[in-house]
Structure 1
Amino acid sequence: MNDRAAAYHATAGGPLDVDTAFYDRVAVRAGAHEPVESFEIPIRSGRAWHVPAGHLCRIVTVTGPQVGDLNVWNAADPRERMWASRTRQLQRAHISTHDRIWSTLPFLRPLLTVTDDSLAGYGEDEQGGRVHDLLGTRCDPYVNRMLTGEDFDFHCHSNLVRAVLPHGLTEFDVHDVLNVFQCTGLNDEDRYFMKACPARAGDFFEFFAEIDLLCALSTCPGGDLSVPLWGPDARDPLEVCRPLGVEVYRPDAELLSGWTSPPRAAYRNLHGIKRPEWTDVG
């Protein structure tokens, strides 16, 4: 037995087996896509938007390296949202092309599938860093206050809170993130580290919406993370903060032939509780 083998496996043809040919066919680079929406998110801010099922979304480093913190919900029921920890187990701690982001219980289905990633070739660097991180989470003003004794209202958590308020969500709906373009790993002490973002202007991370999605993205106030945010060398990294672009595309209908949105988990959550037996007293 290989003690380092992946723990989670599925039967052949199950949901962990991805039809890579389909997702390569619908990727934006394949053409035949109608632009639906395009906008930029300024530095140290956030924005939420919809990506309908069967549509593609690209996040782009418009002018240079910049980390973005991404949240994803079922647009019709925000109780269903991305589940970072289970995605780490079912996919990997840093995701790329053909990986999926999975939703929380009791739904447990793919919310999105990554169709293209210009940093897919980055792999693992000499320090063990990889990009598109699910290991960590968003920066937030609570931890910042704890570490520094100072308040700062434009951490990713705060940016996401402001972004989702117009959509009827609150701070309690903001959740653990996918750190897009962020380079991270675990050091020799098994502790989390962050490196400067390796992206360049025009790099992108692209995904296919498996169901109707509400997405929210924060342009991290740490910018490209080349400047320490905490500790003795910390300083304001404003000069390394840049905007991020978002593009939404509708593929040609023929490209989606045979595809359907995944159903929610088949287990119907009885958890060993027996249904009551009713008797006719009439």
Structure 2
Amino acid sequence: MKPETPSFQPPEDAQERRRVAPVICYPPDALPAPDIAALSKLRDGAERCASVTVPPRDAACIDVKAGQFFRILSVDGPQVGDLNLWSKDDLTERFYSGKTRALHGTHLSTGDRMWSSFPHMRPMGTITADTLDWYGFDAFGGSVHDVIGTRCDPYTGRLLSGTDYHHCCHSNLTRALAGHCDLPLDAAEAHVHDVLNVFMCTGFTRDTGQYFMKASPVRPGDYLEFYAEIDLIVGLSACPGGDCSAEHSSDSAACYPLLIEVFNPGKAARAAHRKPAPSGYDRSHGAG
């Protein structure tokens, strides 16, 4: 956090420097745009083929095949979720929230993609529907579905409070992945990564630039839906902060389950799907 009183005097041209116009770091124009209309039409004919309920203050994993859709649904009350994605074929290929943020912005919605880690760097899932897209950005600079937070975790909790809490999203996802893939906890934990905060309403304070959260606008029936670009393991934690209106990593917040549903558009549609190729970079890093 920046000090309230600077230690150094500003230069004479300080205001001129502040007025320099920003430049978008990664212009998205070169990214291939998903055909949301075609995907929506494909989704209309898809049938539900699998589902899993994520209990409050816990997590669950489910497999989703390339060419299928999956939906994260609010069912009983306002609840946020922490989403991880892994390649079904290789757990080291996982969702890269930082690069997704750089390409699409701090909060995701319909048409944005969830990109995978290096050296793969390809779309893992495309958001095809978002019932909270009406929210936009509020007067505080807050919006929903962020890729700026990390995930509540026991290490930060220990650092700040001096106590241990085991049902934060990091631990929930660790247990869920360990059970789903029959891995020891320490091996599973190495694959848990920064998340898409589904339904969470967040932003940065205008004066100090601090990460904030506020009560999520999500209500039962709201959902965020994705098209699986590759074979996935989808992991979701129902955050112990509930709607994150007051705190996270808490046993006092009202928490509710979340539902993951998988929809299959049919054998022919899935056969027509082409998985995105991994990055074509030769990985020589200038040494060749």
- Residue type at the aligned position of 1:149: G
CA contact (8 A) 2:242 2:248 kept: no
SS of aligned partner of 1:64: coil
Aligned to 1:23: 39
Equivalent position to 1:220, from 239, 246, 256 = 239
Aligned to 1:280: none
- Counting only pairs closer than 5 Å after superposition, residues 1-282 of structure 1 correspond to structure 2 as 3-9=21-27, 14-27=30-43, 31-166=44-179, 167=181, 168=183, 170-188=188-206, 189-229=208-248, 236-238=251-253, 240-253=254-267, 259-274=273-288
Rounded to whole Å, the distance in 2 between the matches of 1:257 and 1:17 is 21
Cα shift readout 1:125-174 (whole Å, capped 9, x = no counterpart): 12111000101110011111111111111000000000001213511110
- Residue type at the aligned position of 2:36: T
SS of aligned partner of 1:249: strand
SS of aligned partner of 2:199: strand
So what's the TM-score if we normalise by structure 2? Answer: 0.86
**Distance verdict in 2 for CA 1:262–1:229, change over 3 Å:** closer
- Residue type at the aligned position of 1:9: P
SS of aligned partner of 2:279: coil
Rounded to whole Å, the distance in 2 between the matches of 1:24 and 1:247 is 16
The structural deviation recorded for 1:254 is 5.5
Cα shift readout 1:177-211 (whole Å, capped 9, x = no counterpart): 00000000000211100011110011001000000
- Residue type at the aligned position of 1:23: L
Cα shift readout 1:32-80 (whole Å, capped 9, x = no counterpart): 1121112211110111111100000000010121010010011101111
- Residue type at the aligned position of 1:237: S
Rounded to whole Å, the distance in 2 between the matches of 1:271 and 1:196 is 45
CA contact (8 A) 2:28 2:104 kept: no
The structural deviation recorded for 1:258 is 5.4
- Residue type at the aligned position of 1:70: L
Greater Cα offset, 251-260 or 155-164:
251-260
Task: State, as a whole percentage, how many aligned pairs show the same letter.
Answer: 44
- Residue type at the aligned position of 2:33: D
Number of corresponding residues: 263
Runs of 4+ aligned residues of structure 1 deviating over 6 Å after TM superposition are none
Unmatched runs of 5 consecutive residues or more in structure 1:
275-282
CA contact (8 A) 1:38 1:245 kept: yes
- Residue type at the aligned position of 2:91: P
Unmatched runs of 5 consecutive residues or more in structure 2:
1-19
Superposition CA RMSD, Å: 1.9
Rounded to whole Å, the distance in 1 between the matches of 2:126 and 2:195 is 16
The structural deviation recorded for 1:271 is 1.2
Rounded to whole Å, the distance in 2 between the matches of 1:237 and 1:181 is 20
Rounded to whole Å, the distance in 2 between the matches of 1:270 and 1:196 is 47
CA contact (8 A) 1:132 1:181 kept: yes
The structural deviation recorded for 1:23 is 2.5
Greater Cα offset, 168-177 or 116-125:
168-177
SS of aligned partner of 1:122: coil
**Distance verdict in 2 for CA 1:68–1:229, change over 3 Å:** closer
The structural deviation recorded for 1:272 is 1.9
Rounded to whole Å, the distance in 1 between the matches of 2:195 and 2:263 is 23
Rounded to whole Å, the distance in 2 between the matches of 1:255 and 1:229 is 41
- Residue type at the aligned position of 1:180: V
